[in-house]
């Protein structure tokens, strides 16, 4: 996800982007991505801010949706309705009963 965020930030006009070691999370175990955005009051800066913040926040909400967070699931669906260019592959939730049935059959 860090690489996806890094590339998405770069294509949407970030002033600078970073792809780096996770640092305090676990040296050498995590990769993080980040961006900086200069907001100078211009129309161009406003356009970049809309693109960047929609991308960055939606990416985080999608990741939480995929992990099973129901609020994130509802939020990303609503966001896709509002922002027609946004396409997120939605997860298919698995019920615990389904896993149990498969385990007993297999």
Strand partners, 19: 33
Segment 22-51 mean pLDDT: 83
CA gap 41, 33 in Å, rounded: 25
What's the pLDDT score for residue 26?
61
Q: What percent of the chain has pLDDT over 70?
A: 85
pTM for the structure as a whole: 0.69
Arithmetic mean of pLDDT over the chain = 84
Cα atoms in the 13 Å half-sphere on the side-chain side of 52: 20
């Amino acid at each position: 996800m860090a690489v996806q965020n890094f590339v998405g930030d770069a294509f949407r006009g970030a002033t600078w982007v970073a792809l780096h070691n996770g640092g305090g999370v676990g040296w050498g175990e995590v990769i993080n991505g980040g961006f900086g955005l200069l907001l100078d009051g211009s129309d161009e800066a406003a356009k970049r801010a809309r693109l960047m913040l929609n991308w960055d926040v939606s990416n985080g909400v999608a990741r939480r949706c995929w992990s099973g967070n129901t609020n994130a699931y509802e939020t990303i669906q609503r966001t896709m309705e509002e922002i027609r260019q946004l396409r997120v592959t939605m997860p298919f939730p698995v019920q615990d009963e389904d896993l149990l049935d498969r385990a007993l059959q297999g």
